[in-house]
Amino acid sequence: MSDTADTASKRPYRGRFAPSPTGPLHFGSLVAAVGSYLDAKVNHGKWLVRIEDIDTTRVVAGAASDILKTLEAYGLYWDESVIYQSQRQSLYQDVVTQLIEQQLIYACHCSRKQIKAMGGIYQGHCKNRQYPFTDSALRLTQCYATSQYQDLLQGLIQIDPRLAQEDYLIKRSDGLFAYQLVVVVDDIAQNISRVVRGADLLDPTARQLSLFQQLKQPSPEYAHLPLVVAKPGFKLSKQNYAPAISTSSAKPALLNAFEFLGLKPEKALLSESIEYMLAWAITKFSLTTVPKATEIQVSQHPVSQDPQFAIIK
């Protein structure tokens, strides 16, 4: 891993926030946005925004522009044009075609239910069946199984080796490109050097690292922030009552996000401008003071005054 880290540290810092437009930003996504923004700015880097709208079945109309307006209301301005995955289909298809030409892809006709019945981990059932590629799910032969990696915040992450070796989906049977593929293709295209995001993506990162290797491209460094949970195991999301954060009164939620990320803001900061608050946070933020936890529970509505944060794990 030291080679990867050395390479990454020599690249210009380019970070990103990559929300899925499935609803408005809530406190959990604000923490990810603020954490990635501050880490980029502390390191004199660029902070990009990418709308991950590849799964069109989950996209909510209007959510993408709503998210961008919310980021602006919080003073979180991005440095380059926003990219939308839904407009990049040909780029993803080019990568799939390249992998097909390398004979690394096969069509799979197994249903989720069948894979579950086979133990939940795909064992290459369709590998030598030569199904045609059209109208089929496509799997990538795993040549670079990654069962551990070093996370800048969470330390050494270890993955079930069977999962690491799995031939995973890169295109679904409904024709949609898989998240694992598009996120890596976009991180390469945008030359992302460091990814700061929520700890729910700790395990999928191993798979993404294997794809960077397969595509012969340097991987970013990763720092996975603690997730905001309503109760153990339940991250804040639309499904469990997380309210949209206010765009008319951004400062209290911003202050709470700073606290969540290990900063110690005085309440007096609330009487300053948003720009001042962010500038203050840039002088104080460091990954070393972010709690090294994967889940932190909020005791009450996280945008209220003085929420309590308790580390779960």
The footprint of Zn ion (CB under 5 A) covers: 108, 110, 125-126
Closest Cα partner for 61 from 17, 21, 29? 21
**Could you give the 3-state DSSP secondary structure of residue 252?**
helix
User: What is the CA 62 to chain-centroid distance, rounded?
Assistant: 21
d(C-alpha 54, C-alpha 232), whole Å: 29
Q: What is the DSSP letter of 296?
A: E
Minimum distance from residue 170 beta carbon to Zn ion (Å): 13
Of 2 and 128, which has the nearer Cβ to Zn ion? 128
Of 110 and 293, which has the nearer Cβ to Zn ion? 110
Of 100 and 110, which has the nearer Cβ to Zn ion? 110
Minimum distance from residue 15 beta carbon to Zn ion (Å): 37
Minimum distance from residue 130 beta carbon to Zn ion (Å): 12
User: What is the CA 94 to chain-centroid distance, rounded?
Assistant: 23
d(C-alpha 260, C-alpha 197), whole Å: 14
User: Apex CA 169: angle with CA 36 and CA 22, to 5°?
Assistant: 45
Closest Cα partner for 96 from 33, 159, 139? 139
Distances (CA, A) of 96 to 177, 214, 225, 228: 9, 12, 31, 35
Closest Cα partner for 164 from 177, 149, 153, 154? 149
Q: What are the tokens at 104?
A: 């690394």
Of 108 and 209, which has the nearer Cβ to Zn ion? 108
Minimum distance from residue 117 beta carbon to Zn ion (Å): 12
Number of Cβ within a 10 Å radius of residue 235: 18
Minimum distance from residue 163 beta carbon to Zn ion (Å): 16
Q: What is the largest CA-CA distance in the chain?
A: 66
User: What phi and psi, each to the nearest 5 degrees, are found at residue 220?
Assistant: -75, 170
Q: What is the DSSP string of 21-37?
A: SSS--BHHHHHHHHHHH
Of 125 and 284, which has the nearer Cβ to Zn ion? 125
Minimum distance from residue 169 beta carbon to Zn ion (Å): 10
Minimum distance from residue 133 beta carbon to Zn ion (Å): 13
Of 5 and 118, which has the nearer Cβ to Zn ion? 118
Of 110 and 244, which has the nearer Cβ to Zn ion? 110
Of 104 and 110, which has the nearer Cβ to Zn ion? 110
Of 173 and 217, which has the nearer Cβ to Zn ion? 173
Minimum distance from residue 79 beta carbon to Zn ion (Å): 42
* Sign of the dihedral through C-alpha 207, 53, 20, 111: negative
* Token pair 């997380």 in the structure block, residue: 242
Minimum distance from residue 172 beta carbon to Zn ion (Å): 13
